[in-house]
Homo-oligomer: A and B are copies of this chain.
Amino acid sequence: MERIGFIGLGIMGAPMAQNLIKAGYYLHVYDIDHDRTIAVASSGCSNASSAYHVARTSDIIITMVPDTPELEQVIWGENGIIDAVRPDSLFIDMSTIASSTAIRMHDALVAKKVQVLDAPVSGGQTGAEQATLSIMVGGSKQAFDRALPVLKVMGKNIVHIGGPGAGQMAKTCNQIIVALTIQGVAEALTLAKKAGIDAAKVREALLGGFAQSRILDVHGQRMLDNNYQPGFKTHLQRKDLNIALQTGNELAVPLPGSSQVAALLDALIARGDAELDHSALAKLMGEMSGID
């Protein structure tokens, strides 16, 4: 069994690492927050004092960090992995970053004779805990085949999309759809609430037709409950739309809907709601409509 190093033990990374431990893998874990590292290590694995040490001792290195700067720190920062990775090791970044950044990272690590995959996920905290994440993978077939048994411990719908960066591109597509679907559900349920009809019955009826979506099901319920505890935070959804807009800009693809939802998320963040679940777009719509 390959030794796994896991870097980034937040709301997603911690349960993903724990599922690997439960599956019998020997893990070396690290988070910039020492308490998080200790918390996961206490469930039965070694804790490392830096990303560097993780890389020195691992056959497979998995990263799950919030954004590009954190990932660049893990790779090129002080005690980063770039000078510690073992030849023939496999690096799997499961964070959500821009496809073009993933390709840069891929090229730098391949130069160190490392196999590299971008393998971002969808499914949120629940998906991470229940090992039902959807995983979108970019990189070589050889690296994908090597990673598959490990990925299967963390997710269910695992698709090899294409070469380097293709996994991140698919995740960008995912975040565009999620953003617009949430905005659609938010506008619809706000209208229903203001009209004074039973918005719960509207959700129930619409789940049986063409408006059906996992967002209407899960996030629609949150909107009915006015419960915006994350889940997936507004500022992270905003970050992911920034990746989408950056990618659209690089490829000359106008993304009018994504641009608009990004602006609405900015308004939500300006109101102090950055830490709420992204379904709080309904809170913003409600406030814009004079609903409490």
The answer to whether B191 and A156 have CB atoms under 8 Å apart is no
A210's partner among B123, B185, B191, B205 (CB-CB below 8 A) is B123
Q: A252 an interface residue at 8 Å Cβ cutoff?
A: yes
User: Chain A 107-123, CB within 8 Å of chain B: the 1/0 string?
Assistant: 00000000000000111
The answer to whether A187 and B257 have CB atoms under 8 Å apart is yes
A157's partner among B99, B166, B188, B209 (CB-CB below 8 A) is B209
Q: A96 an interface residue at 8 Å Cβ cutoff?
A: no
Work out how many copies of this chain go into the complex: 2
* A contact residues, total (Cβ < 8 Å): 75
The answer to whether B213 and A212 have CB atoms under 8 Å apart is yes
Mark the stretch among A59-67, A146-154, A194-202 that contacts chain B: A194-202
Which residues on B sit within 8 Å (CB–CB) of A180?
180-181, 183-184, 187, 257
User: What are 7 A-B contacts defined by CB distance under 8 Å?
Assistant: A122-B208, A174-B206, A176-B188, A178-B211, A180-B180, A180-B257, A184-B257
Please list the residues of chain A having a beta carbon within 8 angstroms of any beta carbon in chain B. 99, 121-124, 127, 133-136, 156-157, 159-162, 166, 169-170, 172-174, 176-181, 183-185, 187-192, 194-195, 197-198, 201-202, 204-216, 218, 244, 247-248, 251-258, 260-261, 264, 285, 288-290
The 4 closest A-B pairs by CB, nearest first: A157-B208, A122-B209, A180-B184, A134-B209
